[in-house]
Amino acid sequence: MGQAEQLLAETIAAAQRQQALKPSELRRVNVDTTVQEKAIAFPTDARLYHKARCVLVREAKRVGIELRQSYRRVGKRALQKQGRYAHAQQLKRARRETRRLRTYLGRVIRDLQRKAVSSGLELDQQLSQYLERALRIYEQQRADKHKLYSMQAPEVECISKGKEHKKYEFGCKVSVVTTSQRGWVVGIEALHGNPYDGHTLKAAHAQVAKLTGVTPAEIFVDKGYRGSQHHPENVAVYISGRKLSGTLKRLLRRRSAIEPVIGHLKQDHRMKRNYLQGKNGDCINALLVGCGFNLRKLLRVFFWLLFGWPEVATEPRCMNLGLQPSLTTAAALA
């Protein structure tokens, strides 16, 4: 267990010591996935060509290779014109500027390779990596899979979650596990490779058992987890849309309580935009976000223990409306 996972496990243990989280609550959990976006610019083709050329020119200057031409001035101008043409819906002109940026990148790549061979200079590891990434960007086509979307963050993936306002997100998928009753984060993990949601359920179940020492017996998920062959063994998995009755129906409706938790993780705890580098940075940021969420809940518990629970308003809503309170309301206020 890594240090970040140990920190998350300690926040859960602290909640149990304060009796804010009962062991019985860990038997029922909600599971869902979201996208943790990386701190990169939106990867259009024109911007990728321009950025790859700028990185190669900078690295060539660092190692002492003098290029025939850097295309710094004309490349910047072509990128500006491409953006303006695209905004004005002049798509033929925009594509022409994109092709021009790709041509500039290809010339710099070939010039750098020739100068390195003719001088007998062996490229260092950093320049070799950037040259390989620039070649991938130069050669990749629209319909290709496993495309490169950033020179500085090659681990970034394009993920489509079916949102109308944001069709594509660039980062990695994150699995989130919360308790069904009070919404404590008892498991969170960054997943690379854009796996199917149902394939991540076993790993999420195992992580909760490792962090808390309690194995969940009931899991409530959405329709993205369909496919019982991928579910953990000896665990009841309830999928949204299933017809149930009684307590299970109420618990399945409460599965949607994980959605506002994910919203708080993104807006209040910095999972909306990840600034840490590499795949390890994705995993660490996700775990620290879960720790921060639990710590904020613990602060509220400590505040209530010190200063008491918040009092119920002494004036019912019916009095504000000019109505007479019922006998039940009057008895509750007595």
Cα distances (Å, whole numbers) of residue 28 to 177, 235, 276: 10, 10, 32
Q: Which two tokens stand for residue 45?
A: 């083709």
- pLDDT, tens digit (0-9, with 9 covering 90-100), for 199-258: 999 999 999 999 999 999 999 999 999 987 889 999 999 999 888 888 999 999 999 999
**Residue 296's CB: how many other CB atoms inside 10 A?**
12
Residue 334 in this model has a pLDDT that exceeds 70: no
Mean pLDDT, the chain, whole residue set? 89
Read off the pLDDT of each residue in 63-86 and give the average, rounded to a whole number: 95
pTM: 0.85
Query: Going by C-beta distance under 8 Å and a sequence separation of 6 or more, which residues neighbour residue 192?
Result: 155, 157, 172, 173, 279, 282
- pLDDT, tens digit (0-9, with 9 covering 90-100), for 127-181: 999 999 999 999 999 889 989 999 999 999 999 988 888 899 999 999 999 999 9
How far apart are alpha carbons 107 and 56 in whole angstroms?
Answer: 11
In the chain, the domains with their CATH numbers are: 3-40+157-306 (3.30.420), 45-139 (no CATH)
| Amino acid (one-letter) located at 326 | S
Q: Are 269 and 251 in contact (CB under 8 A)?
A: no
Read off the pLDDT of each residue in 273-279 and give the average, rounded to a whole number: 94
Cα distances (Å, whole numbers) of residue 143 to 99, 139, 174: 17, 12, 26
Closest CA to 212 of 43, 69, 30, 6: 6
How far apart are alpha carbons 109 and 94 in whole angstroms?
Answer: 23
Read off the pLDDT of each residue in 103-121 and give the average, rounded to a whole number: 90
Residue 333 in this model has a pLDDT that exceeds 50: no
- The string of DSSP codes covering 142-173 is TT-SS----SS-TT-EEE----SS-S-EEEEE
Give the position of tokens 């909640």.
15
Cα distances (Å, whole numbers) of residue 177 to 205, 217, 247, 279, 313: 8, 13, 21, 20, 34
Q: pLDDT band at residue 182, thresholds of 50, 70 and 90?
A: very high
Q: Is the dihedral of CA 272, 264, 224, 226 positive or negative?
A: positive
Closest CA to 242 of 230, 252, 257, 229: 252
Give the position of tokens 């200057």.
61
How far apart are alpha carbons 106 and 239 in whole angstroms?
Answer: 50
How far apart are alpha carbons 202 and 217 in whole angstroms?
Answer: 13
SS3 of the chain: helix, strand, coil, percent, to 5: 55, 10, 35
Q: Which two tokens stand for residue 325?
A: 């309170």
